[in-house]
């Protein structure tokens, strides 16, 4: 059943509306949230397919699934990352302050609707510059509680971040602080849908639901993820401006010293730099947008536990 979570009048005679699709009733509650960044569309496919599959087999659902496909509907409509009218990143405004500005009020009302869920999935894509393998990102302070849940999601990689790198105003951090277990999924690329990644996550969601006792039909086995911390991740940044052309495929295994790509100078026809992998491991992030400047992120390699 489609329900209205938030309605706020806008100056142009329209309303800012966030809706959810509630499937099932009673029992444990799973919330699937996406669309916080309007240029991240991978979760739109997941929301559509998940709702469709649950409605095809309601007899197997032994709990409540709330799907929030567009928590930043204006951003999705205009293909902008933040909320267009105030140009704010919605995922930096989550708190319980309903007396604040427009974005803070919307974020607080959304938080109030999510708090108390047994598990919340916050689905993101990368931006238009980088492509990511399917992964779950977790604050080290919540790892003990969340890693066992994340292992059911059929993702390649669980990345445990130090607490200092996690912004306190994000949805996941705020919900976890309010004792609502929240997992951040990141996969694919901005402004695109990678259906194979979405299908993998949907299989993982059903596995998680079965683990929680919310789904009583058989589910396929999921692949065990790599669990790692920042200590196993190498970052490659551009040493100079130019055009980056990768020479290895995304999600491939690379060797230490192996060439990952070049930075070319279209003016002179020269190769300005050859980018080598600093470690052997999995190339889990790779730049998609070719124009780079000094310091631009080109790739991340997961070594150590691979």
pTM of the model: 0.95
Tell me what the mean pLDDT of segment 116-141 comes to. Answer: 97
CA 83 vs. chain centroid, Å, equals 18
Beta bridge partners of 88: 83
The pairing of strands 28-34 and 119-125 is parallel
Each residue's pLDDT tens digit, 182-209: 999 999 999 999 999 999 999 999 999 9
Give rounded-to-5 percent helix, strand, coil for the chain: 25, 35, 40
pLDDT band at 304 (very low <50, low <70, confident <90, very high): low
The pairing of strands 130-139 and 281-287 is antiparallel
Dist CA 123 CA 117 (whole Å) = 16
Contact between residue 274 and residue 214 where contact means Cβ atoms under 8 Å apart = no
Dist CA 205 CA 189 (whole Å) = 20
Task: State the Cα angle at 212 between 112 and 137, rounded to 5°.
Answer: 65
Tell me what the mean pLDDT of segment 74-92 comes to. Answer: 87
Each residue's pLDDT tens digit, 289-298: 999 999 999 9
Beta bridge partners of 235: 300
> Is the pLDDT reported for residue 164 higher than 60?
no
């Amino acid at each position: 059943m489609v329900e209205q979570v938030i309605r706020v009048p806008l100056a142009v005679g329209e309303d800012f509306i966030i809706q959810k699709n509630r499937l099932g009733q009673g029992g444990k509650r799973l919330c699937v949230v996406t669309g916080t960044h309007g240029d991240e569309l991978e979760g739109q496919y997941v929301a559509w397919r998940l709702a469709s599959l649950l409605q095809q087999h309601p007899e197997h659902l032994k709990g409540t699934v709330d799907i929030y496909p567009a928590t930043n509907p204006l951003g999705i409509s205009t293909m902008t990352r933040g909320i267009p009218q105030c140009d704010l990143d919605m995922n930096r405004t989550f708190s319980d302050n309903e007396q604040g500005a427009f974005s803070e009020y919307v974020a607080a009302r959304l938080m109030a609707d999510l708090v108390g869920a047994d598990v919340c999935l916050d689905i993101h894509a990368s931006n238009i510059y980088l492509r990511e393998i399917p992964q779950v990102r977790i604050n080290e302070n919540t790892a003990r509680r969340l890693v066992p849940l994340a292992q059911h999601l059929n993702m390649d990689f669980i990345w445990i971040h130090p607490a200092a790198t996690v912004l306190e105003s994000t949805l996941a951090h705020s919900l976890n602080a309010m004792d609502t277990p929240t997992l951040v999924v990141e996969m694919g690329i901005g402004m695109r849908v990678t259906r194979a990644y979405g299908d993998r996550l949907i299989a993982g969601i059903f596995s998680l639901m079965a683990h929680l006792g919310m789904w009583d039909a058989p589910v396929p086995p999921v692949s065990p993820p790599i669990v790692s911390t920042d200590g196993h991740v190498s970052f490659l940044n551009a040493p100079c401006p130019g055009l980056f052309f990768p020479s290895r495929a995304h999600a491939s295994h690379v060797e230490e010293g192996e060439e990952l790509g070049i930075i070319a100078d279209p003016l002179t026809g020269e190769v300005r730099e050859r980018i080598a992998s600093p470690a052997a491991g999995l190339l889990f992030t790779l730049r998609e947008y070719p124009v780079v400047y000094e310091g631009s992120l080109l790739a991340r390699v997961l070594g150590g536990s691979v």
